[in-house]
Structure 1
Amino acid sequence: MLTHKQLRAKALRDSEVQAEFEKTREEFALLDEFLKARTQKGLTQAQVAEKIGTTQSAVARMESGRGKHSPSIATLSRYAEALGCKLEIRLVRQRGRRVT
């Protein structure tokens, strides 16, 4: 049986899988940061939901990335504040891409 790491490496050899992975890499990295910060703070999804004025299921959808809509910047900011953090958003130039 393959480990998760082995299965991922095998799947990423496929160029189509690699392209899809790259499209979502940054989004899931951000969601993972939120989940880790919440866990480190010792808060449940329900506790975060109460702090930001939403439901536990909404927090679960946000952390999983499976919601129909992406959370707003205001929602992400409230979530970050509930964890004692500050949300920072910035533009980073992509290497090798020309703007036309």
Structure 2
Amino acid sequence: MPNLKYQPVPYNHEEFLTKARAKEGFSEAYDALTLEYQLVDQLLKARTRAGLTQDAVAERMGTTKSAISRLESAGNAPSLATLKRYAQAVGCELHIELVPQKAG
């Protein structure tokens, strides 16, 4: 059986954004993916709280580590069924909310 102990990799998102926003076109492309990045952030936080590796989540979902890696990257729109299975695998409930836009 593989070692499924979670070992976090240090990462500073703000530092990454500061460097990346200096590149032409990055801000527009990044901002267009805001919702996807928020979803990825929630997935990673849930997996971290659960203390699970991608391998462990994949095993619980009956899929592969590469599928979990794709799921945890922006630009891939997972199905609602996949999000439900991921939430269950990391010990969470899935809640979806539509929030009225602010009048502007």
TM-score between the two structures when normalised by the length of structure 2: 0.70
Equivalent residue number for residue 31 of structure 1: 40
* Alignment-derived partner of residue 80 in structure 2: 73
5+ long unaligned stretches in structure 1: none
Q: For residues 49-88 of structure 1, what are the structure 2 equivalents within 5 Å?
A: 49-67=58-76, 70-88=77-95
- Point out the structure with the larger helix share: 1
| Aligned match of 2:19 | 7
Paired with 1:49 and 1:5, the residues of 2 have a C-alpha distance of 29
Detail structure 1 runs of 4+ shifted over 2 Å in the superposition: 3-11, 16-22
| Shift in CA distance, 17/86, structure 1 to aligned 2, threshold 3 Å | same
Provide the rounded CA distance (Å) in 2 between the counterparts of 1:5 and 1:19: 12
Q: 1:82 and 1:36 mapped to 2: Cα distance?
A: 13
Mean alpha-carbon deviation: is it higher for 36-45 or for 53-62?
36-45
Q: CA deviation at 1:59?
A: 0.4
AA at the equivalent of 1:47: A
CA distance in 1, matches of 2:16, 2:74: 20
Cα RMSD for the two superposed structures: 2.3
Matched-pair identity in % = 43
Give the number of the structure whose alpha-carbon radius of gyration is greater: 1
Q: Which runs of 5+ in 2 are unaligned?
A: 1-14
Number of matched pairs: 90
TM-score for the superposition, normalised by structure 1: 0.73
CA distance in 1, matches of 2:94, 2:39: 10
Using CA pairs under 8 Å that are at least 6 residues apart, name the structure with larger relative contact order, 1 or 2. 2
1:21 lines up with 2:21 in the alignment:
no
